[in-house]
Amino acid sequence: MSPAAEAQAPLLPSDTKHAAAAADERPASVSGAVFNVSTSIIGAGIMSIPATLKVLGVVPAFVLIVVIAWLADVSVGFLMRFTHAGQSVTYSGVMRESFGAAGSVAVQAAVMITNLGCLIIYLIILGDVLSGSKPDDGSVHMGVLQEWFGSHWWNTREFALLFILVFVLLPLVLFRRVESLKFSSAVSVLLAVVFVGISSALAILALIEGKTNSMRLLPELEDKSSFFNLFTAVPVIVTAFTFHFNVHPIGFELGKPSDMILATKISLVLCAAIFFAIGIFGYLLFGDSIMPDILVNFDRSSGSGTFSSFLNDTVRLSYALHLMLVFPLLNFSLRSNIDEFLFPKKPLLATDSTRFISITIVLLVITYLAAIAFPNIWYFFQFMGSTTAVCLAFIFPAAIVLRDVHGISTMNDRIIAAIMIGLAVVTSTIAISKNIYSMSENTT
């Protein structure tokens, strides 16, 4: 194991010198890593999982979740092995060792685009919960604040998001170590479990009352278009399982490399179970009327009575709080990659308060403006899952294995890597083509 493997990095340092600066920090715990990895996975992606079941059917969706979770575990293993075989302590550094400066820039660009897109999605969902949504089908879904207090200037999407950004998110993103967020990450995972628990209770209650919707076990393939439409669900699940940009900042705060592998496996099993559970219960509750953001369905129109309204509000608010706690974890990776990209020769970001705060404020402003301008999460999932997210999760790790600059790949590794790249390229190409075709039809 190289000296770099024993460093514990507070953010995403660009070299071993930066990693050494944090070497005197106490190692993080495996449980803290599990919570941080799980928080990275269970972000906004879970909101669109039920919609993928509507597109794919229950059985194919379950198989796809399991396969993508397994491939994510394999790709993390690839990353960690090649990290410890070399001298780099970041994802971009590992790519630099394999493909030079172009590889490093490719990873940095993909991480920045993916993380920025995820942060924008989080704010869009928070806006949906607090201030409601008006989908393209002409329906109106009221937000929690509007249902409680009526429509006012202070509970509009613009003002509500601004308040959350300044008084909730800003204090959290000012933490300078990932380990500092382990308690908020633990709470966020608990809130995700609460969300699944209440959703399951609502589904069981509806089942007892005979009000559930029928589920399709297999997709309906009426024509060629419906077949290609299946591929548009793949990027959503890929994006949901893309957490690879946090592997290094979380992993190098642990004492041993094997701890990160263990934390990843536990997190993937936990998150895959949560994803499938919320997919089933959400599909039972809302059927084919389910929205890309399932929280939109949990307004007062989805149930009657005080108790039902209370549960609906609890579901929305618990997950809104979960996203507020996930937000700073992704912000860590995004902010550090931007700093490494723009200021590669500057001191460690956590030690430079001016640079740290400046980048933080600029990112918050950009995510806020984008969330106001583009209030639909499905298109963000489609774009990221077909481009940057699939590169980070599968294509880049597999390419590192095939390049094998350290001579540690086995034949099985190369076969799996080649299959991984082939599947990623084919499914992404079809999904992109389908979306371009759909957009061209909508404009004509």
For the segment 228-257, the average pLDDT, to the nearest whole number, is 82
Predicted pLDDT of residue 12: 40
Q: At 11, is the secondary structure helix, strand, or coil?
A: coil
**Residue range 359-365: mean pLDDT, rounded:** 94
Beta-bridge mates of residue 141:
133
Give the pLDDT confidence score for residue 179 in this predicted structure.
Answer: 61
Residue 402 predicted with pLDDT over 50: yes
Task: Provide the mean pLDDT of the chain.
Answer: 81
- Say if CB 79 and CB 400 are below 8 A apart: yes
| Token pair for 420 | 């991984």
Q: Is the pLDDT of residue 180 over 70?
A: no
Position 15 confidence tier, pLDDT thresholds 50, 70, 90: very low
Distance of alpha carbon 30 from alpha carbon 32, whole angstroms: 5
Residue 92, pLDDT above cutoff 50: yes
Q: How confident is the model at residue 21 (pLDDT cuts 50, 70, 90)?
A: very low
Query: CATH second-level architecture of 49-443?
Result: Up-down Bundle (1.20)
Q: Is the pLDDT of residue 236 over 80?
A: yes
pLDDT band of 361, cuts 50, 70, 90? very high
Torsion of CA 184, 190, 194, 200, to 10 degrees: 140
Q: Each residue of 128-154: pLDDT tens digit? A: 888 877 665 556 677 888 888 888 888
On the question of pLDDT at 324 being above 80, the answer is: yes
CA distances from 134 to 314, 337, 360, 367 (A): 21, 35, 31, 20
| Residue 68 pLDDT exceeds 90 | yes
pLDDT for res 441: 66
Domain locations along the chain: 49-443
Nearest to 104 by CA among 15, 11, 183, 220: 15
20 vs 340: which has the higher pLDDT = 340
Question: Which pLDDT score, from 0 to 100, does residue 307 have?
Answer: 58
Per-residue pLDDT at 14: 42
Residue entry with tokens 């995972």: 189
215-234 pLDDT tens trace: 788 887 776 667 777 888 88
Answer whether residue 344 shows pLDDT above 50.
yes
Q: What percent of the chain has pLDDT over 70?
A: 85
* pLDDT > 70? residue 306: no
pLDDT recorded at residue 193 = 78
Its pTM stands at 0.78
Classify burial at 330, counting beta carbons within 10 Å of its beta carbon; exposed 0-12, middle 13-18, buried 19 or more.
Answer: buried
| pLDDT score of 147 | 84
Q: Are 365 and 120 in contact (CB under 8 A)?
A: no
> How much is the average pLDDT of 366-370?
94
Q: Tokens 């992109």 sit at which residue?
A: 432
Q: pLDDT band at 360, cuts 50/70/90?
A: very high
Q: Name the more confident of 47 and 65.
A: 65
How far is the C-alpha of 364 from the C-alpha of 173, rounded, in Å?
Answer: 9
In terms of average pLDDT, the best of 44-58, 135-149, 162-176, 182-196 is 162-176
pLDDT value, residue 143: 82
Kindly report the CA angle at 385 between 380 and 386, in degrees rounded to 5?
A: 105
State which of 52-66, 238-252, 290-304 shows the largest mean pLDDT: 52-66
